[in-house]
């Protein structure tokens, strides 16, 4: 969101937005392609989950369904992976997604450091992404209206809070990349993928990783814009 439609905002926002759109296109393309390719054993998402959980000592993890498409996730508080409709099919794409979510379950089981860090800052990140943005713009408005000292300080607080959201997107990257690496290893150990299927698994996982990189790029771009505005106002 630009401040008074500042054209400078476009310099930061547009490249990150285009990257995010491209990343989303890659995810949809990879998922659409490989969701049409059945895996060799005709295992649906639940079947894949059962095989991998038994192989990896993750029998304590629950499996539930969730509405939507590509809404799959692992809930560390409930020790449950939630699978969307597309991940319940006997496809290569579903196999990749289920394995990825179980990769997070494996991280949780062993106390993977980056996952613990992400879980520890998620509350601050949620507050920072909303409250930080509001405080920044309110501070800028107050500064423009004459309350220069207080308004500027309030905007700085907003930027600091928003930085927690940026940190969350950065910490998410090693968590997601590691979960994908674990997914590939788990599928190979279980003997669930052929060479051709491994290509599809990699395509789906790599495309999904791009979305997390794009989210980090957008957050960083917005933070840089905030800092640029603050520096100009200070001058």
Count CB neighbours of 46 within 10 A.
15
Q: What is the pLDDT of residue 3?
A: 47
Question: In sequence order, what DSSP letters do the residues of 27-41 get, joined into one string?
Answer: HHHHHHHHTTSB-TT
Q: What is the pLDDT of residue 4?
A: 53
Per-residue pLDDT of the chain (235 residues; tens, 9 = 90+): 444 567 888 899 999 999 999 999 999 999 999 999 999 999 999 999 999 999 999 999 999 999 988 999 999 999 999 999 889 999 999 999 999 999 999 999 999 999 999 999 999 999 998 899 999 999 988 887 765 688 889 999 999 999 999 999 999 999 999 999 999 999 999 999 999 999 999 999 999 999 999 999 999 999 999 999 988 877 5
CA distance 113 to 175: 9
Confirm if 48 and 192 have CB atoms less than 8 A apart: yes
Q: What is the pLDDT of residue 1?
A: 47
CA distance 31 to 20: 16
What is the three-state SS of 198-226?
Answer: HHHHHHHHHHHHHHHHHHHHHHHHHHHHH
Confirm if 175 and 135 have CB atoms less than 8 A apart: no
Q: What is the pLDDT of residue 2?
A: 47
The residues carrying an active-site annotation are 101
CA distance 205 to 177: 9
């Amino acid at each position: 969101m630009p401040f008074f439609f500042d054209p400078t905002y476009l310099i930061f926002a547009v490249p990150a937005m285009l990257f995010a759109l491209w990343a989303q296109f890659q995810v949809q393309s990879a998922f659409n392609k490989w969701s049409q390719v059945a895996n060799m054993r005709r295992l649906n998402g639940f079947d894949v989950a059962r095989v991998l959980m038994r192989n990896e000592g993750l029998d304590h993890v629950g499996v539930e369904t969730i509405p939507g498409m590509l809404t799959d996730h692992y809930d560390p508080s409930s020790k449950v992976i939630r699978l969307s409709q597309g991940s319940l099919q006997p496809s290569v794409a579903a196999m990749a997604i289920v394995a990825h979510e179980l990769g997070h379950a494996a991280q949780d089981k062993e106390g993977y450091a980056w996952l613990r860090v992400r879980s520890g800052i998620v509350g601050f990140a949620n507050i920072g992404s909303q409250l930080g943005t509001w405080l920044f713009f309110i501070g800028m408005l107050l500064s423009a209206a004459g309350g220069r000292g207080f308004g500027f300080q309030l905007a700085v607080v907003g930027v600091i809070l928003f930085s927690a959201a940026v940190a969350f997107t950065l910490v998410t990257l090693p968590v997601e990349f590691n979960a994908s690496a674990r997914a590939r290893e788990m599928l190979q150990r279980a003997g669930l993928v052929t060479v051709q299927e491994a290509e599809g698994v990699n395509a789906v996982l790599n495309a999904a990783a791009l979305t997390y990189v794009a989210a980090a790029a957008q957050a960083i771009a917005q933070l840089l814009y905030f800092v640029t505005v603050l520096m100009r106002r200070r001058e």
